[in-house]
Amino acid sequence: MFGLGRKTRIADRYVLGGESLRGFEAGGVGPHDTVTKDPLGGQQFYAAGFEVTFPIGLPNELGVKGALFSDTGSVWQSKLTGPNLIDKPSLRVSAGAGLRWKSPMGPIKIDFAEAILKEKSDRTQFVLFGFSSRF
């Protein structure tokens, strides 16, 4: 993301964490202010994930499956300067397991993820709930 010679607004920058990098809080990876802990976002990022689902022995009618996953990524290049800024393009990796339920209201999931490769300043999150609607 580049602002064609202009500074990009913080709201227009990339952040990682939460659904995009399980095991880390939303906005918990990437450039941030060390005093306020506020995410500042970056102009470049990469992210990749792998997930496999499998039956866990419950009747198929219940629609519950297990999941194993691993996520990786990083975000950097805030183009900001200052003594309270951390902006490292370090690789982050997480792995975990979860449950997937095709509920009558739509898919619901719970994930348990551990941040395996992280920076000391990253904010982590072990449990993540998610839900969506069907189209």
Domain of residue 70, CATH code: 2.40.160.50
* 4 found inside a domain: no
| Residue 117: domain span | 10-131
SS3 readout for 62-128: HCEEEEEEEEEEEEECCCCCCCCEECCCCCEEEEEEEEEEEECCEEEEEEEEEEEECCCCCCECCEE
What is the C-alpha separation between 12 and 34, in angstroms, rounded? 20
* 1 found inside a domain: no
* 5 found inside a domain: no
Domain tally, the chain: 1
pLDDT, position 17 = 96
Give, in order, the Cα–Cα distances in Å from 47 to each of 1, 87, 123, 124.
15, 17, 17, 16
Q: pLDDT by residue for the chain (135 residues), tens digit each?
A: 455 567 778 888 899 999 999 999 999 998 988 888 888 889 999 999 999 999 999 999 999 999 999 999 999 987 777 777 778 889 999 999 999 999 999 999 999 999 999 999 899 999 999 998 765
Element (H, E) at 44: strand 44-55
